[in-house]
Amino acid sequence: MPTHVNRPLTLFEKIWNRHVVTASADGESLLYVDRNLVHEGSFLAFDLLRHAGSRVRKPSGTLAFVDHFAPTRRVEGDRAAAIFDADGRHVIMELEKNAQAHSLEFFGLADELQGIMHVVGPELGLVLPGLVITGNDSHTCTNGAFSAFAFGIGQSEIKQVLETQTVWRSKPKTMRVCIAGGLPPRVFSKDAALALIGRLGAGAGTGYVIEYAGSCVAAMSMEARMSLCNMSIEAGARSGMVGPDATTFDYLSRCPRAPKAGDWNDALEAWKGLATEVGAQFDREVSLDGNKLVPMVTWGTSLDQSAGIEGTVPRPADVEDADKRAVLERAISYMGLSPGTALRGIPIDRAFIGSCTNARVEDLRAAAEILKSSRVRVPTLISPGSMSVKRQAESEGLDRIFVSAGAEWGDASCSMCVGSNGDLVASGQRCASSSPRNFEGRQGIGARTHVMSPAMVAAAAVAGALVDVRAF
């Protein structure tokens, strides 16, 4: 039930209006869902569906991925044999059974296309401009890089989508983040995201959908845009988006599942019409100068507890607000740091390059540039975002660079990002990580996580400490 207006519309408003089925008296709207992505954690939604005596309404509208508990290692060439976590093995088996029972496309361990769902969906062309995408993972917002309205939902909502191909949603407010200029050498979209969150705060995007714009974003590759949109949830926003342009269309033209032949021309015309119109109003406008961005690193347990690599751990004593001071004190204590400590030079125990944020081939190339002709000083795990990414990296010889540097080259998985299936950071250990989160215990009980770009992780692995990648 589209809303007809005469004013200029944003990308988000156009997608929202085209997907509203009906609206409730309390202001919520029932949205049609084009694609629903689920991983192993969806077992409860399928249990609810079964107990209700229901079936999946549109099997082609839901895709199932093994990613969170997928092993990065093998036992005599067998991935399944390397699943040492009993609960992980169980939920993988449950996902496969549910996919078979409801005729869902299943990207399991034996599938050559297996990988993290936020990596596999886009690389296949399953995510297209103008779509509404849901998933049982908060980083579903990654897909907004393709001019889609993509957001994570809970188990009861996943059950609703499975059953009806719709979901109830309150219309969010809109925020445009304009990043002008360009990214300096060895500064990446991950740094832009961390700088933005550090400036605005981890909850500043709550209740908003963010559209990223500006010359800096326009110059980004699709992989860089995916990393940027992926981090929207870390700013509190359920979704991030980038308007459609030639970069979007060129990427999709090479995707195997994207429209082909005559359908491509029709799709292209429709996608071009989605762009935010001149004069469209946003509820909030934020600007960032890309030329002034520097390599970022987190020092605490929230993404807004970050600074440029040449920065220092803050001094809580300088903060007047008692609650904010207590937050800083807890984070600094958990991380085993001292106020005023320079970030550059903090020793690390482990390094991890991977996750739905930074495990695409461009990320691996950036890491390989640092690791070539070098040796890592700490245990380093590199896990590609999909098996397709792994094959591409190997075809370019990146795996040989990693192994020669002393790093471990694994299979596609969420892996150490969530401390799954044995890929853990031990209590008290400090890890340089390209993952999106640094929460307490995220990579293991008592683990201390420093989030940064893949190139920064590679540099830290070589130095055995946090360093400025620009010095390499």
Compute the distance between CA of residue 225 and CA of residue 236 in angstroms, rounded to an integer.
18
| pLDDT single digits (tens) 168-196 | 999 999 999 999 999 999 999 999 999 99
Q: Which of 288, 290, 286, 293 is nearest to 182 (CA)?
A: 290
Handedness of CA 66, 68, 72, 78 (dihedral sign): negative
> How many Å is the maximal CA-CA distance in the chain?
65
Report the Cα 362 to chain-centroid distance in Å. Answer: 15
pLDDT exceeds 90 at position 420: no
* Correct CATH for 298-471 of 3.40.50.150, 3.30.2130.10, 3.90.1570.10, 3.30.499.10: 3.30.499.10
**Which overall architecture, per CATH, does domain 21-168 show?**
2-Layer Sandwich (3.30)
- SS3 label, residue 236: coil
Q: Using an 8 Å Cβ cutoff, are 314 and 342 in contact?
A: no
* DSSP element (H, E) containing 261: helix 261-272
Residue 115 sits at φ, ψ, to 5 deg, of 165, -175
pLDDT (0 to 100) of residue 5 = 61
- Mean pLDDT, rounded, for 384-394: 98
pLDDT exceeds 70 at position 3: no
| pLDDT single digits (tens) 203-242 | 999 999 999 999 999 999 999 999 999 999 999 999 999 9
- Mean pLDDT, rounded, for 74-99: 94
Q: How confident is the model at residue 396 (pLDDT cuts 50, 70, 90)?
A: very high
Compute the distance between CA of residue 137 and CA of residue 41 in angstroms, rounded to an integer.
9
Q: Which of 422, 402, 300 is nearest to 353 (CA)?
A: 402
The superfamily in CATH containing domain 173-292 is: Aconitase, Domain 2 (3.40.1060.10)
Q: How far is CA 330 from CA 138, 236, 293, 327, 442, in A?
A: 25, 21, 28, 5, 16
Which sequence spans correspond to the domains of the chain?
21-168, 173-292, 298-471
User: Which class for 278: exposed (0-12), middle (13-18), buried (19 or more C-beta within 10 A)?
Assistant: exposed
Q: How confident is the model at residue 472 (pLDDT cuts 50, 70, 90)?
A: confident
**Which string of DSSP letters, residue by residue, matches 32-60?**
E-SEEEE-GGGHHHHHHHHHTT---S-GG
Return the structure tokens found at 339: 């106020």
**Cβ count near 275 (within 10 Å):** 17
Q: How confident is the model at residue 6 (pLDDT cuts 50, 70, 90)?
A: confident
Q: Using an 8 Å Cβ cutoff, are 298 and 451 in contact?
A: yes
Q: 21-168 with 298-471: one CATH topology?
A: yes
Compute the distance between CA of residue 45 and CA of residue 201 in angstroms, rounded to an integer.
32
| pLDDT single digits (tens) 17-69 | 999 999 999 999 999 999 999 999 999 999 999 999 999 999 999 999 999 99
pLDDT exceeds 90 at position 374: yes
Q: Which of 108, 140, 112 is nearest to 127 (CA)?
A: 140
Would you say the pTM of this structure is higher than 0.75?
yes
Q: How confident is the model at residue 1 (pLDDT cuts 50, 70, 90)?
A: very low
Return the structure tokens found at 469: 């990648």
pLDDT exceeds 80 at position 143: yes
